[in-house]
Structure 1
Amino acid sequence: MALKRRTKISASFSMSSMTDIVFLLLIFFMITSTMVHPNAIKLLIPKKSTKKVVVDTYLNVRVTASGRFVVDGKWMGSDQVEGSLTRLFARNDNSIIRLQTDANASTGDAARVLDIAESNGVKVILDIR
């Protein structure tokens, strides 16, 4: 008795389902990559212009590597900086801070001066020479 199979086994492989999965993954990664925002500081870079800014005084602030501050030639600690800067801001409305930092100075100390200036509405110029 000779038994024959009614269905033949096919050795072919259909790639259509695999390509569907690849396209779905591609779409998923394209959508999620546009939603990611890097953590960066927003800087306002001035545009080129011939307009001159009238500044009454520059407040020279220097941050040293040892964590001390020099405000208009006076040495002080980190606890005295905010009080002296707010007193200087109260005297003059058109003042701008010129911030200098040593090469090994802490960025936290420089950020402290920037926070004080921002809370008082004073502009800061970073002097990097």
Structure 2
Amino acid sequence: MAIKRNKRFQAEVAKDSMSDIMFFLLLFFLIISTLANPNVIKMTLPKAKNNEKTNKQHITLSVTDEKNYFIDKQQVDFADLETNLLAQLGEDKDQTVVVRIPFNLQVQDLVEVLEIGVKNNLKFVIATDAK
């Protein structure tokens, strides 16, 4: 006598652990993307063959194409730039100020920003991209 089974075996994919893995990957990429450099305003920097990375704590001074000035993502008028920069530095005059200026602005715009550093004896560094 032949006995037939009513239920056939079907291939099944376990989906329970996949949602956990996707959640951890999403969380990982969100954390890494915010740690990359949160105080940077997107712009095209000048190109240089030799780049040097600063590991010390620094303040970022960004100038946009429309000549808007930002100190660590906080917009500042050019007239108030010196006072806000000195207030941000506080007593620690050894901090480095990284100047991020687009490649297509005039040299005079860069000189006006660097004059603030010379006047107050501050360390300024110009940010560049690799060639």
Alignment check: 8 A CA contact 2:65 2:105 kept? yes
Higher-Rg member (1/2): 1
CA RMSD between the two structures: 2.0
Cα distance, 1:54–1:111 mapped onto 2, change above 3 Å: same
- Flag structure 2 segments of 5+ consecutive residues without an equivalent: 1-53
SS in 2 for 1:115: helix
Distance (whole Å) between structure 2 residues aligned to residue 84 and residue 90 of structure 1: 10
Q: CA deviation at 1:101?
A: 0.7
Alignment check: 8 A CA contact 1:67 1:106 kept? no
Distance (whole Å) between structure 1 residues aligned to residue 110 and residue 118 of structure 2: 12
- Asked if 1:100 is matched to 2:96, the reply is no
Alignment check: 8 A CA contact 2:94 2:123 kept? no
- Asked if 1:73 is matched to 2:73, the reply is yes
Distance (whole Å) between structure 2 residues aligned to residue 88 and residue 117 of structure 1: 13
SS in 2 for 1:103: coil
- Asked if 1:121 is matched to 2:121, the reply is yes
Q: CA deviation at 1:114?
A: 0.7
CA offset digits 1:94-125 (Å, max 9, x no partner): 21111111133232222122111111111111
Give the percent of matched residue pairs that are identical in Structure 1 and Structure 2: 16
TM-score by length of structure 1 reads 0.52
Q: CA deviation at 1:59?
A: 0.9
Residue matched to 2:59? 59
- Number of aligned positions between the proteins: 76
Give every structure 1 segment of 4 or more consecutive aligned residues whose post-TM-superposition deviation is greater than 4 Å: none
Greater relative contact order (Cα < 8 A, sep 6+): 2
- Which amino acid in the other structure matches residue 102 of structure 2? D
